Amino acid sequence: MAGGLKEFLLRGNVVDLAVGVVVGAAFGAVVTEFTKDLLTPMIAALVGKPDFSAIQLEINGSKFLVGNFLNAIIAFLLVATAVYYFVVLPVNGLMARAKKEPPPPDPTTKKCPQCLSEIPIGAKRCAFCTSQL
């Protein structure tokens, strides 16, 4: 039983998935901090607010943190854009290069040298002009 679990855990797909999740989480944290610490204040400076996280809406004593939601949207868009341009496009390019076209099938016909009609490869006489091949 333990051997089967070990085989399952060390299979390539499980290890690749684990590495992808860890790297994705770390990359997401970097992009979130970039958004929160650099991009949001830069955009907010253009708009006139010191930070998006300060934008909130209050209705009947309930606070709606609209700025935090905007930060999350910007972080998501940055992560999606970075993943597309730095992971998806290069991998698709590599896969397109690695993909080999299947060899063309062996021909089953040939042209008659006299009348240029298509005849079977094994023919000894043309069915159209009756010339000997």
Q: Which domains does the chain have, with CATH numbers?
A: 2-98 (1.10.1200.120), 105-133 (no CATH)
- Whether 120 and 108 have beta carbons less than 8 Å apart is answered as yes
* Between residues 59 and 50, the one the model is more confident about: 59
**70 — pLDDT class (breaks 50, 70, 90):** confident
pTM above 0.85, yes or no: no
> What value does the mean pLDDT take over residues 103-110?
88
Nearby residues of 68 by Cβ (< 8 Å), 6 or more positions away? 52, 53
Residue 112 has pLDDT above 80, yes or no: yes
